[in-house]
Amino acid sequence: VSFIRPRLILVFCALSALACARAQAPAGAEQSILAAKGDSVHVRLYSAVTAQPIASTDFELTSDNGLRCIKAPCPADGKSWKGKSDAKGELVIPHSALNTTASITSASYRGDLAGDATPATSGGWTLELFPETGAEPAPHPLKLINATTHQPLANVTLRIEARNSGGLPNMMSLTSNALGYIFVPADFVALGAETSWVVVPGYRDAHVDFAWARRKTFLDKR
């Protein structure tokens, strides 16, 4: 089997999403749905944009072992499963449908079940999905999280600053939604993709890694 080899970190992430999450988040901040007990997992699905449950919607889950090949044979152990969320946005997924990578899609939404599902305080799991708009370039979503409590910073007014050398920083004000998400316009990301910081009252300024696919930024209290 001949493997695609972009950068070592990308291959490592493709083969082990959980390991990549641990490498970029505070210890204890991540738990994997892949390690959940039982024959099935209960997942409540939310729109990351509206913060509302995605109810009565048909979904398809596709999963495999993370193996990527240039030519066959490629023993990826691919699986597919279909289901429909209930009136509260909950989907009951058989554990046998999960694998190292697992993505979930509908006609309007998409999400990384294996990488982004988090335990719910009331039991089960939650997953925030992003709209399939097809618009390019799309705003970059960031979820702001208290690094100590691991709770989202919901409904908080903040600033994003692109601190380029040789002048005043470019900045814009945003307000996080009920799930702690902000959506940074693509043209602002282009101003300082590697020099952007998020400034939240009561928290230490945090560098924003727009290249990190997991979309989470952890902030420490002052």
Nearest CA to 46 among 145, 155, 129? 129
Q: Give the pLDDT confidence of 76-100 residue by residue, as tens digits.
A: 778 899 999 999 999 999 999 998 8
- For residue 99, give the amino acid letter: N
> What is the predicted pLDDT for the residue at 46?
97
> What is the predicted pLDDT for the residue at 135?
64
State both tokens at 192.
Answer: 């300082």
- The arithmetic mean of pLDDT across residues 170-187, rounded, is 95
> What is the predicted pLDDT for the residue at 12?
37
Residue 54 has pLDDT above 80, yes or no: yes
- The arithmetic mean of pLDDT across residues 50-76, rounded, is 87
State both tokens at 219.
Answer: 């902030």
pTM over 0.75: yes
